């Protein structure tokens, strides 16, 4: 048993020593060669998520549907723990083709989105209804809903924000349930 443990430990150390070598052989070759040009850093852009630079640029498909929300963040203020917050995000298809929402998912199980399932023609409006259940939550909350559609880029996010006040009803402690008079 001790031999197996020592052997496993030795293999783990050897594996870590060889796998943690972060040097890139191409970089070391260019670093030692004084005549070689300096290496340039390459970044890979995710075409599915818009950055601020991409939002200002022309989309890849100029005829693609465009989802334009009246608001992308809804501040529900302060609610008591256990209350349910409902809000409807309204959007317009400002593109040239019908908009189809494929899916809408929430960042946590306390938030449930419902969306317009039928195609939204250019110039028409649709809705994403969001229900946030504050049961078991306390403090600042900001649940997010990610919407996947046939737009360019195909992911859009909306969110709720606000504060949930803790319940004033005492809970069970280490000594058991609290007796209320």
* pTM of the predicted protein model: 0.61
State the CATH number of the domain containing residue 100. 2.60.40.10
- Return the pLDDT at 51: 47
Answer whether residue 105 is part of any domain: yes
Answer whether residue 41 is part of any domain: no
Answer whether residue 104 is part of any domain: yes
Mean pLDDT of the chain: 79
- Return the pLDDT at 82: 92
105 neighbors 145 (Cβ within 8 angstroms):
yes
Answer whether residue 174 is part of any domain: no
Answer whether residue 17 is part of any domain: no
- Return the pLDDT at 61: 79
Q: How many domains does the chain have?
A: 1
pLDDT, tens digit, 9 for 90 and up, residues 142-166: 999 999 999 988 999 999 999 999 8
Of the two residues 116 and 36, the one the predictor is more confident about is 116
Answer whether residue 36 is part of any domain: no
Answer whether residue 142 is part of any domain: yes
Q: Under the phi-then-psi rule, with left for phi > 0, alpha for psi from -120 to 50, and beta for the rest, what region is 139?
A: left
pLDDT, tens digit, 9 for 90 and up, residues 7-62: 777 776 666 655 544 444 444 444 444 444 444 555 555 555 554 444 445 556 78
- Return the pLDDT at 152: 85
Return the HEC string of the chain: CHHHHHHHHHHHHHHHHHHCCCCCHHHHHHHHCCCCCCCCCCCCCCCCCCCHHHHHCCCCCCCCCCEEECCCEEEEEEEECCCEEEEEEEEEECCCCCECEEEEEECCCCEEEEECCCCECCCCEEEEEEEEECCCCCEEECCEEEEEECCCCCEEEEEEEEEEECCCCCCCECCECCCCC
Range of the domain at 75: 60-165
Answer whether residue 132 is part of any domain: yes
Of the two residues 27 and 120, the one the predictor is more confident about is 120
CA–chain centroid gap for 158, Å, is 10
């Amino acid at each position: 048993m001790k031999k197996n443990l020592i052997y496993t430990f030795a293999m783990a150390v050897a594996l870590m020593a060889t796998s943690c070598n972060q040097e890139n052989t191409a970089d070391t070759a260019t670093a030692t060669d004084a005549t070689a040009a300096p290496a340039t850093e390459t970044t890979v852009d995710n075409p599915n998520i818009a950055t601020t630079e991409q939002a200002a640029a022309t989309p890849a498909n100029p005829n693609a549907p465009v989802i334009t929300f009246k608001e992308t963040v809804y501040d529900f203020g302060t609610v008591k723990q256990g209350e349910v917050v409902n809000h409807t995000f309204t959007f317009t298809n400002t593109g040239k083709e019908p908009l189809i929402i494929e899916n809408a998912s929430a960042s946590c199980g306390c938030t449930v989105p419902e969306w317009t399932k039928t195609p939204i023609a250019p110039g028409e409006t649709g809705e994403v209804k969001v229900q946030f259940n504050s049961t078991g939550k306390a403090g600042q909350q900001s649940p997010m809903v990610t919407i996947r559609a046939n737009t360019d880029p195909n992911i859009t996010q909306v969110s709720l924000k606000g504060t949930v006040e803790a319940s004033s009803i005492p809970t069970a402690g280490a000594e058991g349930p609290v007796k209320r008079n």
